[in-house]
Structure 1
């Protein structure tokens, strides 16, 4: 093989490697996009920076019922989490601060959907805790945090990609006060 042929072969291999790398980045970007279809680039930018507060009445949960005994007496904060999710990393500091602030006054539940194995474990955990309906409705929506009433299983508030600790605290304070009043 001549030097020129070796150079051409090397150039082709580098080009192929670059294409494979670009394809890998594209696949990762799509997979980490939290499965949201975005109509335009401006909408994509606003979605990245926007905080979504989903109305609980818009949640389709078939069988709302009391949660497991171990969750009774305190509001339940459920985090749908994945290690590859940028939104999850964004809200983590707020959730960590809430755990410090509320301690044992709130039940914190993390359902990890990083991969097939962790999703299966999360599904079993959700079933054990009476959260199977919530999990089924939200398992594909990483960076989703729900605050639930343990007595009824009702979603009091559903947040998506919200890094604002005060928004969570407002709902938790109200839920704690309601628990004490009942």
Structure 2
């Protein structure tokens, strides 16, 4: 099922977007961390993975230069962005800051 990016990010629940590539080592390191964050936070966050090689237009629109790049959206607005691998605790803190 394909959903438009705008529909996806226009949520009152924080939406964490992971721009990644299958060939990217740090992206593979981040994948289980994201699974743990989803397990810990459940319905408090949506996590969406976007393969930059399969979705170059979206990656270009958001000027994703390196992977992994994480972005947090809520109600259609980008609230946070960072490139690189973050710890489970750091990611949970970012989501918590923007959940209010």
Same fold per TM (> 0.5)?
yes
Higher helix share: 1
TM-score category of the 2 structures, normalised to the smaller one: 0.7 to 0.9
The structure with more radius of gyration: 1
2:83 aligned to which of 149, 153, 160: 160
Cα distance in 2 for residues equivalent to 1:152 and 1:108: 15
SS at match of 2:50: strand
In structure 2, stretches of 5+ residues that fail to align are 1-5
Contact 1:76 1:107 (8 Å CA) reproduced: yes
CA RMSD between the two structures: 2.3
2:61 aligned to which of 118, 129, 136: 136
Render the CA deviation track for 1:129-170: whole Å, top value 9, x for unaligned.
xxx5x7622433211111122x251x3222221231111111
Deviation at 1:171, TM superposition (A): 1.4
User: Match for residue 77 of structure 1?
Assistant: 16
In structure 1, stretches of 5+ residues that fail to align are 1-66, 124-131
Deviation at 1:101, TM superposition (A): 1.3
User: Match for residue 45 of structure 2?
Assistant: 106
Pick 1 or 2: higher relative contact order, CA cutoff 8 A, min separation 6.
2
Render the CA deviation track for 1:28-83: whole Å, top value 9, x for unaligned.
xxxxxxxxxxxxxxxxxxxxxxxxxxxxxxxxxxxxxxx42774120110000111
Render the CA deviation track for 1:90-123: whole Å, top value 9, x for unaligned.
211211111111222212111112x3xx125xx4
Contact 2:19 2:70 (8 Å CA) reproduced: yes
| Runs of 4 or more consecutive aligned structure 1 residues displaced over 3 Å after TM superposition | none
SS at match of 1:97: helix
Question: In 2 relative to 1, CA 108–76 (structure 1 residues): closer, same or farther, beyond 3 Å?
Answer: same
Residue 148 in structure 1 maps to residue 87 in structure 2? no
Q: State the TM-score, normalizing by the size of structure 2.
A: 0.77
The total of aligned residue pairs comes to: 95
Q: State the TM-score, normalizing by the size of structure 1.
A: 0.46
